[in-house]
Structure 1
Amino acid sequence: MKITTPDIGVDKATVAEILVNVGDTISIDDSIVLLESDKASVEVPSTSAGVVKSILVSQGDEVAEGAVLVELEAEGQTAAPAEEAPQAEATPAPVAEVKAETVAPVVAQNTSTASVDVQVPDIGVEKAIVGEILVAVGDSIEVDQSIVVVESDKATVEVPSTAAGVVESISIQVGDSVKEGVVILQVKSASSATPATPEAPKPATESAPVAEVSKEETPVATAPAGDVEIAVPDLGVDKATVAEILVAVGDKVEKDQSIIVVESDKATVEVPSTTAGIIKAIHVTLGQNVAEGIGLVTIEAEGQAAPAAVAKAPASTPAPTKVEAPKATAPVTQAPVSQGSDKLTKEQNAANAKVYAGPAVRKLARELGVVLAEVKASGPHARLMKEDLFAYVKTRLTTPQAAPSATVAQVSGLPKLPSFDAFGGVEEKVLTRLQQVSIPQLSLNNYIPQVTQFDLADITELEAWRNDLKAGFKKDGISLTIMAFIIKAVSHLLKEEREFAGHLSDDGKSVLLRNEIHMGIAVATPDGLTVPVLRNPDQKSIKQIAVELGVLGQKARDKKLSPKDLQGANFTISSLGAIGGTAFTPLVNWPQVAILGISPATMQPVWNGQGFDPKLMLPLSLSYDHRVINGADAARFTHKLTKLLKDIRTLLI
């Protein structure tokens, strides 16, 4: 049995440490080699139990997926010396002695196999509660079969087994609090459960019968343990096409060796063998469409030495065959389907079909109820690995679930567009990513009864003062715009008119008044409009506000805004600057209840009681949620703001 390098997510890795020696007896999942890349260190586990026969790599070697690391002499294969028995056929007495020596070690080896502890893996939280135990003592389980359900206050996760065999004991109970490393149960591997050969020593006292047994044992030692059919696993799609057949009838294959390549319009997947043996028949042809559960090949599985030693005992030989054959086939077609249908909807399974991932990862995703499109892939060619799935689940366990209200928005309830082919056709222009992600948020405005209050502010003296200051600011590398003064005036006013910076409660019975002011400032970028947040402008000077405005604007244009830069605003200002226009109705940005629009200032004649004076007038557009703010309150708000902007000195009073 050869242990090869699995898919480690990188093209090549370096052998950093060899963890076993020739002659060591190892179990399934024992670490044998430590590999290192520039991304991570990974311990490669053994996929079989046995004795290390040879080590085929050295420290410092570079290996890739499929490279042979070590060669094992699988447990039970030490009965091979029995092949020499026919040479002693002519002399019965010596044969009896040989058989006594060869059978004894086999029995000792079979009964010395240790049980495997299955432990709680890293589940992303310090502690979790055992919600359900899915197996019982005496049950036969497979690798990756769910054995225990654990729950935290964030999520529920099914823990898969890391070993195959018979459940020997269960160390936990429903309601127990467990953490990483706690032993869940003990599994007795299939090889250690093989019937012993108590009758083997008997032939030592009778030379003639022993000679007969030795003649029959020679072919049985290499006889197959049974035919195993390899079926199409869950590929995540309804149908796929056989693109390549990697084996031929008569070929010897190892467990997990790729045998068939199937392709869909989404991905290419290599189907591995679930057992070692010889290809007896191939049931598919190139180009054939296949679906989950369809037989691909039949493998004549390799025999085990322990059953061979008792080939003469009719009562004990059928038992191993009946146990092993179902293990190779039943879990593949039954368990994943039932678990998957319980955890994911049809839509989610359809989404999973579009993601590049192997059958084992898809099976695990169904068991954990994970939509693969939500998981970040780290494998080559954006392939999803099991580690990616575990990392996603760990994050989900430790992160509070988002409020349902955040996902209320739909694009719209509008009917489908008609065809324009009869009117010259269309040319499709794809919206920018920023515009696409803004659509759900903007659609929430459909649920807000919005009104806009218009007003004009005389900023003649304010603009004159700004012109006096801007030269000094420019020397310090600061751009002083009228927006800095407007932000300062609005933040001052919001401390008096707190409802304008509040939120309507979910039950619609109260207004939630915020303790701080965090102001969203709309910034135009080549990709669309974005709204970074200026923190606590009421506590900052006009100079500090001007500096932060410049920083936020540049980050927005450079696409360097972090999620934190866009969160927490309770009032927004949107300015058209010098673009043009006389007024507009900005949309209230839920969950806020008000937004102020600024249009370009223009010189206008203003009546002073005796004549007209030229004044620089700034158009204001205050949109508000009429469920929270009355029209009179909105008019009062804009009137106060015009007075502040006309004489900014009133901020000091």
Structure 2
Amino acid sequence: MSTIQDIFIPDLGGDTDVDLIDIMVSIGDTVEVEDGLITLETEKASMDVPTTHSGVIKEILVEVGAKVNSGDLIARVETQDESSTNEEVSTPSPVSSDSPSLQEAEAKLEAVSNANAEISCQFVDEQTICTVIEEVRIPDLGEDKDVDLIDVLVSVGDTVAKEMGLVTLETEKASMDVPATFGGEILELYVEAGMKVNSGDLIAKMTKTVVMENKLPTPAKTTAPTQTEVPKETKQKSTIQEAMAKTSQVEVSADSKVLSTKSAKVYASPSVRKVAREFGVDLGFVKGSGKKNRILKDDIKAYVKEQLNKPATSAGSGLGFNLPELKEIDFSQFGEIETVELSRIQKISGPSLHRNWVSIPHVTQFDEADITELEKFRKEQNAIADGFKLSPLVFVVKAVAKALAIHPKFNASLSADGDSIIMKKYFNVAIAVDTPNGLMVPVIKDVDKKGFKDIAIEMAEISSKAREGKLKSADLQGACFTISSLGGIGGTKFTPIINAPEVAILGLSKSEMKPVWDGETFQPRLTLPLSLSYDHKVIDGADGARFTTTLSQLLSDIRLLSL
């Protein structure tokens, strides 16, 4: 028999209109006596208000930010009268020697289940019904690491068939669904869209029911006259709920103070909560070391230290900043609208661009190169060329490789821990290509070993593949430096975003004819605008200016490229 109990604000002495700064429970939560419900803050101290009854939270009648007083109603809790609890009493019948036992049934299932499977069996209607909870993991991805998980195809509670897709992965080679290895119900999901995953990572825990023919006689059930038999469906549901409770435990390393999944309940004293608010720490993500996982002040300090020591590039799309959420606006109130979904490439590249822009201190150096003689030579060669065409970009690619050799710091990457620079001895240049599906960035390898003709032919081939969506994974890997050219469209200058782990990127705008003073008169010269963005953690401003100066000289006199 259940009873609804009211929980009130205790006597606050002379304090009135006290600030309610936190609600520690939600409707549907199960609480024990002395579990904290809310946190109040007076001018003297912060304090938790505990529940006076055990049960399930049915109603919460306060909200954060409210002013409360002694005797105000906080919540209503549904309690159970223990004396009315009925239990089923079962007396098993004798078991014949030639019939399998429950232990044998579980052992048989363990032999065909994975090592981490949880198995429980019971006799129901002359059958052995076993509930098996198994882990589903990312299959072997070969050499691919940190693969993008772009979609989760199921939700907790879904029933899926064998071979039905669970998640979608996208490597640089292709997209693929990871199927369920058996049919069953999704108990817990451990992944979300946008994550990076590797071979063997845990995707989900699933339950399946295995029915085995049973030679055992059904156990005789004797029920007390005043007791009510628990339906079979209720018992099975209870077994699943117990399994779900086990799988809902947050998995973290022994040393880490950062939980990967937000905890539903937080146990912390008012003083600890105050420290957490001062540091802007969400206690739901802090692993407590006290009794009943209670969070201590030392846990807060360890959590903050661990977060600060994380490399900037691994902090996720938010990069540790608690930015205010963008307010959702109904634009249709102002006129007609149309919602267009982002392309697959935009969905993939967007978070990377955001991460690079926020985590890399960009500086952009603007310059220009006199390409009058280069353009004259290019047109002369195109007039006699057979099977290829030289574009201005061909010469820029070759000049960039030469400039990287002269200024090796630009041909480098910052190590993951940020303590060293990895100098590269090869010269691979990426070219941003505008395609109908979005921007693609194929790579030309070993530019320093190739002539203008070789670069022109290869550039035409990879650009065509990019527009047709036929680029392979190898075509997109290994770049040292990227060039983004908008010269065919227009504009004078822009700030390109560095493509980490590279440390610089060159932007090209539309060339234009300018009058240049030669000491006596103004001469018409064709100039190419250059926009060099570089990572100020690795490259100083003086080095940035030297690089564009070198590049300008190489493009102004292409004979220097052969030296």
| Structure of greater Rg | 1
Higher relative helix content = 1
TM-score (norm 1): 0.44
TM-score (norm 2): 0.50
